[in-house]
Amino acid sequence: MSIQITKIKGIPIRLHFTLIVVFFLIAWTLSAGLMPEIHPGLTRVQYLIIGILGAITSFTSILLHEFAHSIVASRYGLKVRQIVLFIFGGVSDIEEGDSSKDFHKEFKIAIAGPITSFVMAALLGLSWWVLVSVTHGTTSSPTTIIITMANINNNAIIIIAEAILQYGAIINTILGGFNLVPAFPLDGGRILRSALLRWKKDYDQSTKVAVRIGTDISYVFMAVGFIFMLTGSFIGGIWLLFIGWFLNRGAQFYLEQHQISTALSGVYIKDIMNTRFVSVRPDITVNELLNNYFNAYRKREFPVVSREGGEYATGYYYNLLGAVTAKRAQKVPERIRDQMKVQEIMVPKDDLIVMKSNSLADDALRRMFRENKSMVFICEEESKKVVEKEGLEPYQQRGQRLVGLISKTDILNIAKEKEEFDKTVEKLAVSGSGSGNSNSRNQAVTSRSNFEKRLSTSSYPSLATHSYPSSSYNDKNNKFNIISRWRFLFFVVGVIVFIIAYSVGATLVHINPNQAEFIKAHFQEQIKVISQYGIFANNVKVALGMFIPGLGITSGTFYAFSTGLVFNALSTISPAVSNISPLIVFLTPFGILEIIAYGIAISRSGILSYQLIKDTNRRNSWRKYVIPTVIEIGIVVTILLIAAMVEWQMIRTLRI
C-alpha cells in the first residue's frame, strides 16, 4: 500500500498510505495549536500555509535522515532496496548481509542518520537566527532598510519563513535525539548493539541484550505516559504511551526476526522444498480449472506450466509460465468460464518470486515478507536445442524448469522446529557435560544427525501434502480483521469523512443571526441538565446508529455536520469564538477519543456494507460479521465512557 514518487541515486522513494494521516495531523496541530501561540496575529490561511510547509519539512527531514543511512550502506556495498515514509517516520530497506556483524560498519551506518539530523538542525537554526537578527535588528545595513520598507504582506511572508526555519531546527533536533534512544528499531539500538558486539564479541548475545534494554526503555515510556495522563496532560500522555508501544513492538519484532534467521542459517531451499506438486496447463478452461483442480485438491494457488522436451528419464520437464489463484478464477463470470483459458487470468512469472534451489531459506522468507507473498517457485535454468527452419543451425533456448515449491508457513514451521531442536540438543549437551555422562552427548549428536538427515531427504509430513496458506492473496474472511491493514485504512477513511462533514457544517454553510440564535437556544436546552452519564448515554446512542450497515455512514455524516452547525452558530453570534479554528475541538482529550470511536463505528458500517454486497453465502458466514462488530462495539463504548468522564471533568474545572 505504497506508491513510488521518485528515485534518488537509484534508490526508490515510496510513500505509504498511512503518511496521509500523520501529514494532516502535523499540519493541523501546527496551524490550529502551536503556531498561533508562537506567532500570533496571522490569518487562518497563513497558519494553514505554515502547517502544510511544516509537515513537508518534517518528512523532508525524515527522508534526509534515512537517505544518510542508505548512502553509507551503499558505500559498504550493501543493496538499498527502497526508502519508505510512513506513519511512524521512515525506514531504509537495506540488505543486512554480514554488515551488522561488523561493529564498525553497523555503527557508521546507524550514526549517519542522527548526525545528518543534527547538521540540518544547526543549519536551519543558524538561518532562523540570521533572519530574526536582520529583520528585528537595529543596524542600518541595506538589507535591513529594504525589509523595514516592506509592506505588511512581506512581513507575513517573513514571519512564515521564521516559523518554518524555527520548526525545522526543532524537529531535526528531536529526530536526531529520539533516534539515539538505545532501543530497536531506532538507530540507538543498533549503536548499542555495535558497542556490545565490540565488547562481548558475540553477535547473538549482543542482539538479545540490546533488545532487552530497548524493551525496558519502552516500558519506561509507557509508564511516564500513564503518569502524564493521571496528572492532567492527556495528549502528551497518549503520545508517550503510543511511542512506548511502538518501541516495544519494534524490539520484539526484531528479536523474532533474528531468532528465525538464526534458526534458518545454513538451511537451503533444496533441502526443504516440496517436489511433489500439482500444476495446470495454460490451455485448459476456467471451468475445468475450478472443477478438476480447485474443487478436487482444495488449494488456493497452482503453478501454470508448459510441457517441454528435455534430456531426462521422463523425456520432458515443466517450464514455469505463471500461477493461477482461486480468487482470480472465481472472479470470471460463469457465462464465459467455458471459453476463457487459464493463461488469460494467470499471474505472470515476472510477478512471482522465483528462486534457485541453492538459495538460502532465510533469503526466501525475507523476500516473501518484503513482497507480501506466500509462495516461492523454485526453478533451474534449462537449455534446449531449437531449429526454426531446415538447413539452419540449431540454437540454444533457455527456459526455467520448475522443480519445487515452498510456502511461507513451511519455512516458519521448519524454523520453529529447528529452534526447538537446537534447544533440546543444548540441554542434552549441558546435562551430559555436567554429569560426565557420555550417553547424553551421544544422544545430542544422534539427534543432530537425524535432523540433518531429515532435511536432506525432505521428509517433513507438512511438505508432502503441500498447502498454500497465508498472505499473498488476502483471504476474504480475514481481510477486515480488527488489526488488519485494510481495517486500519477503512478507519482512516471513516475519520476523514467525519472531519470533512464537520468542517462543511462549521465553515461552508452560511447561517444568519436568527438561525444562529435558534440553533444556540436548542443546543443550550439540550445541555441544561447535562451530566457525565448523560454525555455517555447520548454519545453511545449516536455511535450505535453509526454501526448500521449503509445507514451508519449517513448517520455519522449527519451527526458530524450537525455538530459543525452548532460551532458555526456560536461563532456567528460570539466574536470570540469566530477567532478560534473549528477543528480545535478535536485537539481536546475528549475530542480525540470521540473521533476515534466514531471513526471505528462509521468504518465498520462501510465494511459491513461491502461484505454483505460481496458475500453470497451470508447464512454460513454470519460469524465473521457479528463477532468483529460486537468486539468493536465494546471498544467504542469503553472509549466513549472514558471520553465522557474526561469531558465532564473539563466542564466542572472550567465551570462551563
Cβ atoms within 10 Å, residue 29: 17
Using CA atoms, how far residue 560 sits from 61, 499, 556, 629, in Å, is 35, 7, 6, 22
Q: What number of other Cβ atoms are within 10 A of residue 192's Cβ?
A: 24
Compute and round to an integer the Cα radius of gyration of the chain.
Answer: 31
Instruction: End-to-end CA distance of the chain: give it in Å, rounded.
Output: 45
Q: Confirm if 13 and 63 have CB atoms less than 8 A apart.
A: yes
Q: Transcribe 340-409 into DSSP letters.
A: -BHHHHSEEGGGS-EE-TTSBHHHHHHHHHHHT-SEEEEEEEEEEEE-SSTTSPPEEEEEEEEEEEEEHH
Q: Report the alpha-carbon distance of residue 522 to residue 432 in Å, rounded.
A: 83
> Can you tell me the distance from the alpha carbon of 608 to that of 447, in angstroms, rounded to the nearest whole number?
52
Q: Are 280 and 324 in contact (CB under 8 A)?
A: yes
Alpha carbon 18 to chain centroid distance?
7
**DSSP type of residue 11:** E
In whole angstroms, what is the distance from residue 117 CA to residue 96 CA? Answer: 23
Whole-angstrom distance, CA of residue 109 vs CA of residue 193: 13
Ranges in the chain, pLDDT < 50: 138-153, 310-315, 387, 389, 392, 395-397, 440, 444-445, 447-448, 451-480, 656
CB atoms near residue 414 (< 10 Å): 23
Alpha-carbon distances of 221 from 218, 242, 594, rounded to whole Å: 5, 9, 24
Q: How many CB atoms lie within 10 A of CB 41?
A: 9
18 SS3 class: coil
**CB contact at 8 A, 586 and 595:** yes
pLDDT of residue 311: 45
DSSP letters, 501-529, are: HHHIIIIIS---HHHHHHHHHHHHHHTTT
CA-to-CA distance for 269 and 359, rounded, in angstroms?
6
Residue 589 and residue 136: Cα distance in Å, rounded? 38
Asked if 531 and 586 touch (Cβ cutoff 8 Å), the reply is no
Sign of CA dihedral 333, 338, 344, 348: positive
Q: How far apart are CA 276 and CA 453, in angstroms?
A: 19
Distance of CA 630 to the CA centre of its chain: 25
Q: How confident is the model at residue 454, as a pLDDT?
A: 45
Tell me how far apart the alpha carbons of residues 312 and 301 are, in angstroms, rounded to a whole number: 27
CA distances from 401 to 308, 379, 404, 405, 625 (A): 9, 5, 9, 12, 44
Place of cell 476456467: 286
**What distance in Å separates the CA atoms of residue 81 and residue 74, rounded to the nearest whole number?**
10
Complete DSSP assignment for 90-108: EEEEE--TTGGGSHHHHHH
pLDDT at 566: 81
Non-local CB neighbours of 46 within 8 Å, separated by 6+ positions: 156, 159, 160
pLDDT at 114: 92
State how beta strands 347-348 and 354-355 pair: unpaired
Q: Are strands 347-348 and 316-325 parallel, antiparallel or unpaired?
A: antiparallel
Place of cell 455511535: 543
C-alpha cell belonging to residue 585:
475541538
Angle between helices 532-546 and 589-614 (to 10 degrees): 20
Q: What is the pLDDT of residue 53?
A: 92
Query: Cell 502524564, residue?
Result: 228
